[in-house]
Amino acid sequence: MPLFKKKANEPQVDFQNLPRHIAIIMDGNGRWAKKRGLPRTAGHAAGAENFRTIATYCKDIGLDYLTVYAFSTENWKRPQEEVGAIMGLLKKYLLEAIEQMERDKVKMEFFGDLSALTPELRELCEQTREISKRYDGCQVNICLNYGGRDELLRAAKAYAHDCMEGRADPNHLTDEQMGGYLFSKGVPDPDLVIRPSGELRLSNFLLWQSAYAEFYFTDVLWPDFDKNELHRAIAAFQSRSRRFGGV
Ligand code: FPP
């Protein structure tokens, strides 16, 4: 008896050949709320709930890595109330994640400059990361105060510093070594990057890591992006031929 029953009109996913790493730009929360006459913060609450559902599902189907864009280096420009609401949702999620970690067995990481977060939120991220080190289920990476350009600038500075200290050779830097300077150190590049909500851009997300990613765009807003939408994205990915610059 298969674990996931397929209906005739559902996208056909080969669960034995899933992408190893899926990355998602969780976009469209504000528009989802506006359509319902609700405040933007209600959209983020629905988005956070959907993140729980999708992350749990990714773990259940055996995905190795899921990375989500939760808060960018540019998102601080939003009204204080909205920033506060997103931080509140993160806190709520991390508290729950810590409580349920033994059951879920997910590994959690954070990409981004956490120093700008409140000490309480930083401590929760640290605790989550530490506790989850003992688990080797799906690794969920939450991008927080993350920007692809910021990540590359930090990497360039750290590399320059290592060169000055004699720990690195300025004439020799490989792709792999560069990866070691990024927040995503040790995590394979995303195979599939999904952006819901109809926007067709990367918005400073995983600039280095997405070099050979396949992209999937849909008009569906993030709070409505359900398992069936994820299946569509994976099926589209599986129908493509990846050549990595070869033929
Ligand atoms: C983009 O939609 C969404 C964000 C900037 C915030 C994402 C945050 C969450 C889903 C909640 C917290 C996350 C976790 C991991 C618990 P938008 O606001 O730009 O939507 P719009 O383009 O329709 O205005």
191 close to 171: Cβ distance less than 8 angstroms: no
Atom of ligand 1 nearest to the CA of 199: 22
pLDDT digits (tens, 9 = 90+) for 130-146: 999 999 889 999 999 99
Across 155-203, the runs of DSSP E, i.e. the strands, are 192-195
Could you give phi then psi for residue 239, rounded to 5 degrees? -85, -5
Is residue 243 a part of any domain in this protein? no
Q: How far is the CA of 53 from the centre of ligand 1 (A)?
A: 15
> Residue 114: what pLDDT?
98
The per-residue pLDDT for 102 is: 86
Atom 8 (ligand 1): residue with closest C-alpha?
Answer: 70
Write the CATH number for 35.
3.40.1180.10
240 CA distance to ligand 1 middle (Å) = 29
User: Does 26 fall in a domain?
Assistant: yes
With tokens 């952006």, the residue in question is 195
List, for residues 228-244, the tens digit of each pLDDT value: 999 999 999 999 988 88
pLDDT tens figures, 65-87: 999 999 999 999 999 999 999 99
Atom of ligand 1 nearest to the CA of 90: 16
Q: How far is CA 164 from CA 102, 170, 182, in A?
A: 44, 9, 19
Q: Is position 178 within any domain? A: no
Domain assignment present for residue 157? The answer is no
Domains contained in the chain, number: 1
Which candidate, 176, 130, 133, 125, places its Cα nearest to that of 155? 176
Model pLDDT, residue 32: 98
> Is 2 within a domain?
no
Q: Whose CA is nearest to atom 7 of ligand 1?
A: 70
User: Catalytic residue positions?
Assistant: 27, 75
- Could you state, in chain order, the average pLDDT of each consecutive group of 10 residues for the chain (247 residues)? 61 96 98 98 98 97 98 97 98 96 92 98 97 93 98 98 97 96 98 98 98 98 98 97 85
- Domain that includes residue 131, residue range: 21-148+191-238
| 224-244: burial string, b at 16+ Cβ within 10 Å, e else | bbeeebbbbbbebbbeeeeee
Q: 222 alpha carbon to ligand 1 midpoint, in Å?
A: 8
- Check residue 104 and give its pLDDT: 87
Residue 123 lies in a domain: yes
Q: Is residue 183 part of a domain?
A: no
Question: Listing from the earlier edge strand, what are the strands of the sheet with 214-217?
Answer: 107-111, 139-146, 65-72, 21-25, 192-195, 214-217
pLDDT at res. 243: 87
Q: Is 144 a domain residue? A: yes
Distance CA 196, CA 87 (A): 22
